[in-house]
Each structure stands twice: as C-alpha cells, then as structure tokens.
Amino acid sequence: MGDRPISTIFSVGTELTEGTILNTHFRFLGAELKGLGFFTRKAVQIPDDPDIFREELREALRASGLVIVTGGLGPTSDDLTRETIAEVCAAPLRFDQAIWDDLVQRYAARGRSIAQTNRKQAQIPSGFSVLNNRVGSAPGFCGVDGACTVMALPGPPAELEEMFLREALPLLQTRFFSSRGAAVEMVATAIMIPESVLEQALQEARGSDAAPRWSTRVAEDRIVWTLRGSPRRRQRRVYSALLKRFGPLRIREGDVQPSFLPYRILSQRRETVAVAESCTGGLISKLLTDIPGSSRVLWGTFVTYSNESKIRLLGVPGEMLQGAGAVSQEVVSAMSQGLLEHTPADLALAVTGIAGPEGGSREKPVGTVWISARYRRGAHLCQRFHFPGNREAVRRRTAVAAFILAECALLGTDGQLEY
C-alpha cells in the first residue's frame, strides 16, 4: 500500500446480493480508484438490511480514508443509504429545497406530476454537499466523517459512472492528491484489444517506473484508459509504446467510439452509408443510430440473413452462393457492390459470417467473418477475420471491425486490421 490512501466500496441492494442484478460497480470504481492512486481494501455487497449496513459502514469509516456507497438513493422504503449514512455519521438529514424544485421541474418537463414519496430524494445529511445527477433523478452527496471522506452515488451504472467522472473525480483529485501538484491526465482508447493484453502492454510500457498509473473503463465496443500521476512526457512515452505495438487503427487518443469513426467523416462530407448485415442482424445499424444526428449519414440497412434475401435484395448471384458459400470473399464483395447498385449511398458496408454456436466447419469455423467496405469514389477493402468468443462477442467484434474498415475506405488508407 505504501502511502496510497485506502478506500472501501459498498454496493447496496438485496437484488445484488441475491444475484438478480449483475454488479458492474466494483469493476468501474475499482479501476478508477486504482488509477487515481487509491488502495481499495474491500468491495462489499450489502442487502437492504440496516443492521448489516450500519455495522459494515462503521468498520469502513475506521479503516478507510474514502468510503463510496452506491445504490439505495431511490424514493422507496427499502432505499436506506441516506438514513444509514446520516445515522452513522451523526449528520441528521436536511431537506434541500433546491433539489426538490429541480425534481419537480424535471418531471413537469416530461408531462408528469411528481409523487410526494420523491421528497425523500431531496434529503441530504447535514454538512454534506450535493453531487448533481445529469442522467437520472437521484442526486448523490459527499461529506466528511472524522478523517474519512464519504460519497454516496446512485445505483444505475449510467448514472453512477457519469456522476463519478464529472462530480466525484475532481473532488477526489483535489482532496487527496492536490499536494502532489495539479492532476495531469491523458485519455486514450483501445479498440479490439483484450483487457488482459492491454494491461500487460501498459505494464511493459511503463517499465520499472512507479508512474504513470492507469485506470481502464471497459465498454462493449472499446476500452478507455486513463494515464495519471506523472508528467505529460512520460504519459506520451507510454502512449507511443502502445501505438507502436498495436498500430493507429486500434490505439486512439481520447475517448473514441468506434461507430463515430465513419460517422464523423460522412457527416463532414455530407455523404451517406448503406449497410448489408448478415451475421450481425442489424447491430451495426443500431450502433450507428445510437449517435444523435445519424439520420444525416445512414441511408438505410438491409438485414440479408438468408441466401434468398441476398439474391433478391442485393443481386448476389445464386451460383456464387452455392459455389463459394455465404461466408466468403466473393459473396461479401457482391453484397457491397449490390448496395452501391441499389442505393445512392456513397459508402457500402457489408458483413457476413458465422456467429455460432452452430454452423461452423473445419474450413469455416465459428467466428469466421468477412467484411467489405466499398467507397463509391475510392477504395474497396475486404478482409476475413476469425473472432473468438460466444455469439454476442463475435457479432460485437464484427461491428467494431466494420467501423474501422469503413473509416479506412473513406480515408483511402491501408485497412489491414490485425486481430
């Protein structure tokens, strides 16, 4: 541990201890706190039982410099985080009119009236400051009990992560690490790199130095990693080592969403893309349409799952399907060509593959995928992949690889993507 401050994390809710809901909080918070320089002594799941909660919280306050409690901030009777923290920290709850007014306005903006039970969410322990919730309704709060900083964050992952990064992180940097100088951070993204491989690469790039530290935030389509605790030049050295090892297609500076890679270029050029999906079944289009304003770039999608749909909708020759098979370079190339012939789109993106668990063979095992990205005024890139993992993982990796090849086709750069 050395001189690292000690932290404890709680996740509150019987639905967590009974396995009804998967707990992702520990992975996110543990990685973020490690990157900041904390040693997390304990991560505990607590049922909605005030006696157990009080006992665990008292122990954590004695043993830690930081306690983070997640969940239990809702308006129902089994949401006990406010009351328990207020009791154990001897900080009676106070009603915050500003929080209540904000809640009333939020509900009114959605055409709904707010229930009086929601008044509970406007109660904050005395002496604690409010952490704003930009995603949901339940605010968090932060205060001090003796030598320990106590934070309460909401349970839904999207709310928790947004609140931690925007509200809690700056407070922790100031409170625990301001004496070490201004916090310098570098954010980067790893695409199509397993978490364990990235971790090893970061360790090797850092070498024997104690800094920089890092944290990783694992999303479905990428890993966002943050370097902290060292001069910028040392962070750049680590980043450059990973860039050299994995290449510029898989290592990007900043928080880069793969679907945004082709979207950004198409939007700037005022061009459109048409997509033909087989094994992904619409996932590529779903990820594109998650981006606000995607209607400007997505012309349309063909989910050509069967051979007949490939023939009728895209003009793929039947004899080609019989000879080469649906999962082949010939067919995926014909799919992208058919998109350009049947639509006015500037970019055609086609995928076909075997997501499993059935359908594989010795020549084409499960995970075999072909991707074709064809730019009407430029390059045509076509590549085969062998993706590991279950059906969901193969589909997701196919979508991510498709976005990278689409970007390369639009830029006219080499799209050979190692995986």
pLDDT in tens, 26-74: 999 999 998 888 999 999 999 999 999 999 999 999 999 999 999 999 9
**Structural domain count, the chain:** 3
Q: Indicate the helix (H) or strand (E) that contains 148.
A: strand 148-153
Last residue of a domain, one of 148, 180, 212: 180
Q: Do 235 and 276 lie in a common domain?
A: no
Quick one: which of 229, 178, 173, 170 has its CA closest to 238? Answer: 229
Alpha-helical regions (H) of 90-194: 97-109, 157-163, 169-177
Residues 25 and 171 in one domain: yes
User: HSE-up of 153 (CA within 13 Å, CB side)?
Assistant: 29
- Considering the domain architecture, whether residues 125 and 229 belong to the same structural domain is answered as no
In this structure, is residue 302 part of a structural domain? yes
Whether residues 29 and 175 share a domain: the answer is: yes
Q: Are 205 and 12 in contact (CB under 8 A)?
A: no
Q: 273-277 and 347-353 as β-strands: parallel, antiparallel, unpaired?
A: parallel
Sheet holding 251-253, edge to edge: 213-218, 223-228, 185-190, 251-253
Q: Which tokens is 89 given?
A: 């920290």
Per-residue CA distances from 295 to 140, 288, 302, 338, 347 (Å) = 36, 9, 16, 22, 15
Q: Mean pLDDT score of the chain, rounded to an integer?
A: 93
Residues 176 and 193 in one domain: no
Examine the domain organization and report whether 78 and 168 are in the same domain. yes
> Where residue 58 sits, what CATH number does that domain have?
3.40.980.10
Residue 346 included in any domain: yes
DSSP-derived letter for residue 144 is: E
| Residue numbers of the domain that contains 142 | 6-180
- Where are any strands of DSSP class E within 211-367? 213-218, 223-228, 251-253, 273-277, 298-303, 347-353
- Predicted pLDDT at 183: 57
- The verdict on residue 417 lying in a domain is no
Amino acid at 292: P
Q: 173-216: per-residue pLDDT in tens? A: 889 987 655 457 899 999 999 999 999 999 999 988 777 889 99
- 114 lies in the same domain as 225: no
Nearest C-alpha neighbor of 394 from the set 349, 359, 357: 357
**Whether residue 357 has a cis bond before it, omega within 30° of 0:** yes
* Percent of the chain scoring above 70 in pLDDT: 98
Q: How large is the average pLDDT for residues 301-317?
A: 97
Domain ends where: 231, 253, 275? 253
| Cα separation, 94 vs 51, whole angstroms | 22
| Percent of the residues in the chain that have a pLDDT greater than 90, as a whole number | 80
Alpha carbons within 13 A on the beta-carbon side of 146: 13
pLDDT score at 284: 98
Q: 262-276: per-residue pLDDT in tens?
A: 999 999 999 999 999
Look at residue 150 and tell me if it is in a domain. Answer: yes
Q: What is the rounded distance in angstroms from the CA atom of residue 276 to the CA atom of residue 400?
A: 15
User: Which CATH number does the domain housing residue 307 bear?
Assistant: 3.90.950.20
Asked if residue 129 and residue 65 are part of one domain, the reply reads yes
Say whether both 238 and 325 belong to one domain: no
- Token look-up 């935030």 returns 217
Q: Residue 268: what residue type?
A: Q
Beta carbons of 114 and 105 less than 8 angstroms apart: no
The burial of 67, by beta-carbon neighbours within 10 Å (0-12 exposed, 13-18 middle, 19 or more buried), is given as: buried
Both 202 and 222 in a single domain?
yes
Is there a domain that residue 419 lies in?
Answer: no
* Same-domain check for residues 280 and 337: yes
What would the pLDDT profile of 317-346 be if each residue is shown by its tens digit? 999 999 999 999 999 999 999 999 999 999
What mean pLDDT comes out for the span 344-350? Answer: 98
Q: Which of 116, 148, 180 is the last residue of a domain?
A: 180
Residue 418 located in a structural domain: no
Residue 383 within any structural domain of the chain: yes
**Cα pseudo-dihedral 355, 357, 361, 367, rounded to 10:** 30
Judgement on whether residues 406 and 339 belong to the same structural domain of the protein: yes
CA 367 from centroid of its chain's CA atoms: 23
Cα distance between residue 276 and residue 302, in whole Å: 5
Q: Is the dihedral of CA 192, 198, 201, 205 positive or negative?
A: positive
Residue 199 within a domain: yes
What phi, psi does 298 have (nearest 5°)? -90, 110
